[in-house]
């Protein structure tokens, strides 16, 4: 039996799970995440003595680490409407807070939260809109609120993932690390874990990942072809 740590890139998971399984209430998304992670504990399947009944062998869960940013609760000026928008009153803010609160209550789930750089937060036009403006296909008066994109950069999330991978590897706390992400920035951390003898698995949830990351991991594994259900739950 292996001891397994599962690290979840929260922004990535929320985006892909919404595409795969649709929008859900925060408590449902939190349940889905916990159950999906536990699919990775299934090590192998054997057969009973009568030869036709499958018996699943499960690894031990060390912990699920969830990395994300707390929702934006500040007021940002919109140059198109020339009004301030208070994100603390938005449905997205309420959903995200409830989602994180539900995750905090899950057994063996640890939150690692970064933050958004307030000083770099502003509205910008999407590249498609900029092209249309430059070509004269649309005019300023044709623009709508949906043409603006809130530009914000998260800080601390990738660093926390890298530090946790290093800590788990150096202290020999686990035998296997499963990283649910599609980001190739974790190549150095993956290489370090493998040097320390850790079995390093990536779950990109069906999305294509960089060849450079594939080269430095021990395997790709995904369960996005099935909807998380109670059958995936494990007592660990």
- pLDDT of 48 higher than 90: no
Work out the angle at residue 198's Cα, subtended by the Cα atoms of residues 54 and 196, and round it to the nearest 5 degrees. 160
pLDDT at 51: 59
Predicted local distance difference test score (pLDDT) of residue 194: 94
Least confident of 5-14, 26-35, 73-82: 73-82
Q: What is the mean pLDDT of residues 133-148?
A: 84
3-state secondary structure of 230: helix
DSSP sequence for 63-74: EEEEEEEPPP-S
What are the tokens at 192?
Answer: 């370090």
Among 19-23, 106-110, 114-118, the least confident range? 114-118
- DSSP code, position 106: S
Kindly provide the b/e burial profile for residues 146-169, where b requires at least 16 CB atoms within 10 angstroms of the residue's own CB.
ebbeeeeebeebbeebbebbeebb
What string of H, E and C letters represents the secondary structure of 129-164?
Answer: HHHHHHCCCCCHHHCCHHHEEEECCEECHHHHHHHH
pLDDT at 45: 59
């Amino acid at each position: 039996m292996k001891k397994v740590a599962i690290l979840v890139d929260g922004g990535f998971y929320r985006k892909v799970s919404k595409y795969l399984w649709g929008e859900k209430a925060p408590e449902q998304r939190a349940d889905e995440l916990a159950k999906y992670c536990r699919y990775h504990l299934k090590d192998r399947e054997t057969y009973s003595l009568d030869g036709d009944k499958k018996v699943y062998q499960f690894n031990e869960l060390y912990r699920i680490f969830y990395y994300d940013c707390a929702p934006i609760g500040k007021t940002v000026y919109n140059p198109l409407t020339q009004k301030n928008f208070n994100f603390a009153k938005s449905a997205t803010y309420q959903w995200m807070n409830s989602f994180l609160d539900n995750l905090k209550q899950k057994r063996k789930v640890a939150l690692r939260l970064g933050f958004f750089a307030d000083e770099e937060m502003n509205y910008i036009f999407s590249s498609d809109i900029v092209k249309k403006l430059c070509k004269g296909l649309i005019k300023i008066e044709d623009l709508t609120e949906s043409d603006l994109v809130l530009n914000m950069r998260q800080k601390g999330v990738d660093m926390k993932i890298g530090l946790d991978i290093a800590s788990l590897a150096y202290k020999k706390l686990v035998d296997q690390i499963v990283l649910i992400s599609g980001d190739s920035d974790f190549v150095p951390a993956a290489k370090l874990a493998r040097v320390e003898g850790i079995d390093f698995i990536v779950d990109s949830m069906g999305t294509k990942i960089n060849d450079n990351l594939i080269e430095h991991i021990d395997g790709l594994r995904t369960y996005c072809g099935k909807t998380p259900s109670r059958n995936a739950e494990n007592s660990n």
